[in-house]
Amino acid sequence: MIVRSIVVRAVVYFHLLAILSYALPTPPENMKIGVYDVSLSEKIGAWPAYFLGWNSVSVRPLFDTYVRLTGAHQHWNMFAPTPIHENLWVDATVTYKSGAEKQYVFPRNSKLTIVDGFIQERYWKYLDSVQEESNAIMWPDMARFVAQKMYKHHEDPPVRVRLHRHTKPVSEPGSKDDAEYTNFTFYDTPISSKNLKKERV
C-alpha cells in the first residue's frame, strides 16, 4: 500500500508539474535567458519574464512528449500579441473504387451543441494543429483513419483520400462576417484496400 501510494503521488505531482510548465506563456524572444542583456537590477525587476524564459527553454522540453501524447498541451494563441486570426475547419474527400466520392467532415465546434462542443474540444485542438506543415508526419495516419471510417462495402473500398482545410479571416468586432472560406488540399494519397481489410479484421 505504501509503495502504491508513493507511485500514485509521484504520477500526480509529475502530471501537475507538466501541466503547469506547459501552460505558462512563452515570453518574447528578447526576454529569454541569455538573449536579453541587461544590468543586474533590471534582471531582478524583470524576473517573471526570465522565469518564463527559463521554463520555456529548459523545463518545458522535458515534458513535451508526455504532454502531447496525453493531449494535455495548451496553446496561448487566443491571446495577444498574436491571437488566432482565422476560422478553420477540416474535411476530407474519399474516392471509391467505383469512382464515387463522399465527404467526411471532422467535428466543427460551430455546428455542435454546447455539450458536444465540450466533449469534442480535444478533437478540435488536434485538428487545429494537425493540418500545419510541421505536423505532416501525421497526415498518412489521418487519411487512413478517414478511409477506415468510410469503408462500408468490400466490393467498393476507398482508393484515395484528399484532406482539405478551409479558412477565412476572423471579422473585426462589429463588422459584418461576409468573407468566404478559402479551400486548400493539404494532403492527397492513394489508399490500399488490402490494408484496410486487414485493419478492419
Same domain for 144 and 64: no
Strands (DSSP E) found in 14-139? 86-96, 101-105
Confidence at residue 80, expressed as pLDDT on a 0 to 100 scale = 56
**Residues 143, 161 contacting (CB under 8 angstroms):** yes
Cα–Cα distance measured from residue 159 to residue 151, given in angstroms and rounded to the nearest whole number: 10
pLDDT for the residue numbered 37: 47
In sequence order, the β-bridge partners of residue 104 are 92
| Better-scored residue on pLDDT, 23 or 167 | 167
How many domains in the chain?
2
141 belongs to a structural domain: yes
Residue 162 resides in a domain: yes
Report the half-sphere exposure of 12 (CA within 13 A, side-chain side).
Answer: 6
The pLDDT value given to residue 13: 92
Q: Verify that 65 and 95 share a domain, yes or no.
A: no
Beta carbons of 107 and 120 less than 8 angstroms apart:
yes
In this predicted model, what pLDDT tens digit does every residue of 40-72 receive, in sequence order? 445 555 666 677 777 777 788 888 888 877 767
What is the overall mean pLDDT for the chain? 79
The tens digit of pLDDT for each residue in 120-163 reads 777 777 787 788 888 899 999 999 999 999 998 888 899 999 99
The residue segments making up the domain with residue 27 are 2-69
Residue 8, pLDDT score? 92
Task: State mean pLDDT over 21-41.
Answer: 60
The answer to whether residue 78 is domain-embedded is no
Q: Are 12 and 63 members of one domain?
A: yes
Packing angle, helices 60-69 and 2-23, rounded to 10:
100
